Amino acid sequence: MTIQIRHLDSAQPDFKQRLDTLLAFEASTDEAIEQSVAAILHDVRQRGDAAVLDYTNRFDRIPGGAASMAAFDVPQAELQAALAALPAAQRAALETAAARIRVFHERQKEELRGFTYIEPDGTLLGQRITPLDRVGIYVPGGKAAYPSSVLMNALPAKVAGVAEIIMVVPTPDGVKNQMVLAAAAIAGVTRVITIGGAQAVGALAYGTASIAPVDKIVGPGNAYVAAAKRRVFGTVGIDMIAGPSEILVLCDGSTDPDWVAMDLFSQAEHDELAQAIMLCPDAAYIARVEASIHKLLPSMPRADTIRTSMSERGALVKVRDMQEACDIANAIAAEHLEISAEDPQQWADKIRHAGAMFLGRFSSESLGDYCCGPNHVLPTSRTARFSSPLGVYDFQKRSSVIFVSEAGAQTLGKVAAELAYGEGLQAHARSAELRLRPAA
Catalytic residues: 335-336
The least CB distance from residue 9 to a copy of itself, in Å, is: 26
| Binding to a copy of itself in span 196-215, by CB under 8 A | 215
Of the residues 48, 136, 156, 368, which one makes contact with a copy of itself according to CB under 8 A: 368
CB of 70 to a copy of itself, least distance (A): 26
Supply the DSSP symbol for 383.
Answer: G
**With DSSP H G I counted as helix, E B as strand and the rest as coil, what are the percentages for the chain, rounded to 5?**
50, 15, 35
Task: Please report how close the Cβ of residue 266 comes to a copy of itself at its closest, in angstroms.
Answer: 4
Task: Judge whether 317 and 10 are in contact, CB under 8 Å.
Answer: yes
**CA–centroid distance for 138 within its chain:** 12
- Per CB under 8 A, the list member of 50, 241, 290, 308 interacting with a copy of itself is 241
Separation in Å, CA 365 to CA 8, 105, 173, 246, 325: 23, 19, 33, 11, 19
Please give the distance of CA 319 from its chain centroid, rounded to a whole number.
Answer: 30
Does the protein bind a copy of itself through residue 275 (CB under 8 A)? Answer: no
CA–CA dist 183, 80 (Å, integer): 10
Binding to a copy of itself by residue 93, rule CB under 8 A?
yes
In this chain, which of 13, 120, 301, 438 binds a copy of itself, going by CB under 8 A?
A: 301
Please list, in sequence order, all residues whose beta carbon lies within 8 angstroms of the beta carbon of residue 433, skipping any fewer than 6 positions away. Answer: 413, 417
- Of 137 and 179, the one with the shorter C-beta distance to a copy of itself is 179
* Backbone Cα Rg of the chain: 26
Nearest CB to a copy of itself, comparing residues 68 and 426: 426
| Residue (of 288, 103, 72) closest to 191 by Cα position | 72
Residue 270 among known ligand-binding residues: yes
- Assess 147 for contact with a copy of itself (CB under 8 A): yes
Cβ–Cβ under 8 Å, residues 21 and 330: no
Asked if residue 321 binds a copy of itself (CB under 8 A), the reply is no
Name the residue nearer to a copy of itself (CB basis): 167 or 242.
242
Q: Applying CB under 8 A, does 426 fall inside the site for a copy of itself? A: yes
Asked if 278 touches a copy of itself (CB under 8 A), the answer is no
In the complex, least distance from residue 197 CB atom to a copy of itself, rounded to whole angstroms: 22
How far apart CA 336 and CA 177 sit, in angstroms, is 28
Cα 235 to Cα 227: distance, rounded to the nearest angstrom: 14
Straight-line distance from the first to the last Cα atom of the chain, in angstroms, rounded to the nearest whole number: 93
Binding piece for a copy of itself, criterion CB under 8 A, among 12-20, 45-53, 167-175, 299-307? 299-307
Closer Cβ to a copy of itself, 53 or 165, answer by number: 165
Binding residues for substrate: 245, 267, 270, 336, 369, 423, 428
Binding residues: 138, 199, 222, 245, 267, 270, 336, 369, 423, 428
Binding residues for Zn(2+): 267, 270, 369, 428
